Amino acid sequence: LSLAHGITRALKNDEFELHYQPICNISDGCVAGFEALVRWRHPTDGLVPPMDFLWLAEQTGLIRELGLWTLERACRDWPNLRQLTNHETPFISVNLSATQLTSKTLVNDVKAVIARYGMPTTQLKLELTETVMIEHPEVAQEILSSLVELGSNLALDDYGTGYSGLDHLQRYPIGTLKIDRAFISRMLESEQSQEIVRSSIALAHSLGMNVVAEGIETRAVRDALSNMGCEFGQGWHFGKPVALQDLVLLCGV
């Protein structure tokens, strides 16, 4: 109860902030985009990670307001992110929760934010997990199609840890598969993980999707993924999530 009150107060007092983690071309290490990750700059508790409050924001429906704030801040920051990447026009990835996808106003909200900040819709990626598709299949299909019609792209987050129902890949207009860190971090030690990664990449490519490997921590893992034809990587090897003012140009890691 007091946490919910805290979130409401935090929204009012502007205590949330976004950190950005680079998503890079596996081959040359150049920054291709950024994932926006929310944090709560609590007045007494310091920086609170999303795991500690998103579940409640989700439960109480406050995630609608928080999600909109995230989208708005990401679009506002985009010109600055773009300057950090030199020659490329980066995409920005924003996470959407299941509850947000039940909001009847989501599509119009996204439209309004995009228009307000002049964000190129083609550079906006929306990340969702399979939970969304399981819990709200019809609504999700309608809303996700509308979002894609606007020109934005959809990425399926945490691939491999959920249901991995292959019908999701067929039913929804997903352009990017994000392979979960659990498989990437084990892939050099576990033949099984490596095969799961390899076949996920092959599946994605055969369906016309591109792939982001999450949680790349070493050059060796990056090289292995490069050999498998994986396009993009995210993880500490390329950079941790940091505040906009702490981002430095990361091309050519």
Question: What are the Cα distances from residue 249, in Å, to 24, 55, 190?
Answer: 11, 33, 33
SS3 state at 164 = coil
CB closer to Na ion, 72 vs 157:
157
Residue 55 contacts ligand G per CB under 6 A: no
Site for Mn ion in 93-112 (CB under 5 A): 95
Stretch of residues binding Na ion (CB under 5 A), selected from 84-92, 113-121, 156-164, 190-198: 156-164
CB-based contact 18:38 (threshold 8 Å)? yes
- How far is Cα 133 from Cα 93, in angstroms, rounded to an integer? 19
- Using CB under 5 A, pick the residue from 77, 127, 130, 180 that binds Mn ion: 127
Buried/exposed 68-102: b ≥16 CB within 10 Å, e otherwise: bbbbbbbbebbeebbebbeeeebbbbbbbbbbbbb
- Residues 132-161 as x/- pattern, contact with ligand G by CB under 6 A: -------------------------xx---
Closest CB 234 distance from Na ion, rounded Å: 9
Could you say which of 158, 179, 233, 241 contacts Na ion (CB under 5 A)?
158
Among 95, 123, 152, 176, binds ligand G (CB under 6 A): 95
Does residue 180 interact with Mn ion by CB under 5 A?
no
CB of 49 to ligand G, least distance (A): 5
Q: Return the number of other C-beta atoms located less than 10 Å from residue 146's C-beta.
A: 15
